[in-house]
Structure 1
Amino acid sequence: MCIGCHGIVGYRASFPEVYQVPMISGQGARYLSAALQAYRKGDRRHPTMRSIAGSLSDQDIEDLAAFYAAQLPAAPPPAAAAAPDAQVADLLKRGNCAACHGEGLNKPIDASYPKLAGQHGDYLYAALRAYRVENHPQVGRANAIMAAQAKPYTPAELKALSTYIASLPGELQTVPNAKFR
């Protein structure tokens, strides 16, 4: 079922708002596994993803995570990224994003953390805002560290951060399935 959304270039989710579904090809296996486990437990509250993750066995999750992690781009991303403007540089410093997500926000210090560089900006914005949601049965993400990081920012600041991070060179991609082209 993953390719039905994550294997279509430009595909957009419509709940709780319209945004591009995240690129998962090239993401780390431990992160993908942790994300699916969080959907299954309800720590990530997205009804569609929770339903899908709930239908997967532990082995299914590990197999899917390994499959998508192995889909790295043929060529590494360019090393140089545009420098952030002063506002975004301050936001990145304030959030200390690189401390967990690593150099260029593409080399997480722990394999269970996501690569962020090059991810869809509208998805990043929706995800960051989800960490700010509390006590909603269908929306939000339960992660104390990211909640503490996201809550001090205004929506405009989260949008600026998301837009910049999306512009960074990264390994994430959408790999269409040949059967659906």
Structure 2
Amino acid sequence: MKKLLQISIAMAAILGATSLVQAQVQAATSAAAAGSASVQSKVAMCIGCHGIAGYQSSFPEIHKVPMIAGQNAKYIGAALTAYAKGERKHPTMRGIAQTLSDQDIADISSYYEKQAAQAGATAVAETVAQPSAQVAELLTKGACASCHGANYSKPIDGSYPKLAGQHPDYLYAALKSYQTEGNPVVGRGNAIMAGQVKQFSHTELQAMAKYLASLPSELRTVPQSKFR
């Protein structure tokens, strides 16, 4: 009888432990689902531009909106913070960024950093086509690789963007924005980038942007529907 009682107690303990584990798994699953839903609600405002392949902005000039899937989370976060503070001038982006908390920015940035890989993007090639002598000279003059890294896809710090494969018209518009001064709605306030970019003519910026855009890249636009 005593042995049977011991077995019963042991079985009860096992069943109790199993139930506890099941409850913990269910709680974790529910939390993950809630977290996923929360992130989806945060990126909903991004999808209208960054979730449509080939989507073009008309401000401050017509250009494709940047691909942000696969971009560094730290850079996306820094960019959103700069828009919120007005260091990057863009009325639409500032209006959106100012509604975001620090946690929102962290969640959105992490989401887009992982999105390209989740959509099946592969690692970029280690060997790339070399630029023309003229473009190589321009890139060296601007010391571009010193921050944006090997093949312009491996920045030395996550707060710098991957440039390889980005839309050339966006790169050109972004580079020009560092040359802009005194405009209340256009321009980017980064002293290092301004110092580098102001060395170049618009024709030279276009040449660099075209080469950088031709390089293999992890960046993607992952099509998404607002009505999921």
Q: CA RMSD in A?
A: 1.2
After TM superposition, which residue ranges in structure 1, 4 or more long, deviate above 6 angstroms? none
| Gap regions ≥5 residues in structure 1 | none
- Rg (Cα) greater in structure: 2
Alpha-carbon offset, residue 19 of structure 1: 0.2
Aligned positions, number: 181
CA distance in 1, matches of 2:225, 2:204: 39
Name the SS of the counterpart of 1:35 in structure 2: helix
More displaced 10-residue stretch of structure 1: 79-88 or 146-155: 79-88
1:42 aligns with 2:89: no
Letter in 2 for 1:7: G
1:121 aligns with 2:168: yes
Letter in 2 for 1:2: C
Alpha-carbon offset, residue 178 of structure 1: 4.8
Name the SS of the counterpart of 1:72 in structure 2: helix
Identity between Structure 1 and Structure 2 (%): 60
Alpha-carbon offset, residue 116 of structure 1: 0.3
Report what 2:199 is aligned to.
Answer: 152
Tell me the TM-score normalized by structure 2: 0.77
Report what 1:25 is aligned to.
Answer: 69
CA distance in 2, matches of 1:79, 1:10: 26
Of residues 183, 194, 205, the one that matches 1:136 is: 183
Contact 2:47-2:226 within 8 A present in 1 as well: no
Name the SS of the counterpart of 1:23 in structure 2: coil
- Map 1:157-176; keep pairs closer than 5 Å: 157-176=204-223
1:115-136 CA distance string (max 9 Å, x none):
0000000000000000000111
- Map 1:33-72; keep pairs closer than 5 Å: 33-72=77-116
Alpha-carbon offset, residue 80 of structure 1: 2.4
Name the SS of the counterpart of 2:154 in structure 1: coil
| Gap regions ≥5 residues in structure 2 | 1-44
Letter in 2 for 1:112: S
Name the SS of the counterpart of 1:25 in structure 2: coil
Contact 2:49-2:65 within 8 A present in 1 as well: yes
1:90-127 CA distance string (max 9 Å, x none):
00111111100000000000110000000000000000
Q: Which protein, 1 or 2, shows the higher relative CO under an 8 Å CA cutoff with sep ≥ 6? A: 1
CA distance in 2, matches of 1:3, 1:59: 19
Alpha-carbon offset, residue 179 of structure 1: 5.3
Alpha-carbon offset, residue 180 of structure 1: 5.9
Tell me the TM-score normalized by structure 1: 0.97
CA distance in 2, matches of 1:126, 1:119: 12
CA distance in 2, matches of 1:16, 1:168: 26
Distance 1:142 1:80, change over 3 A: same
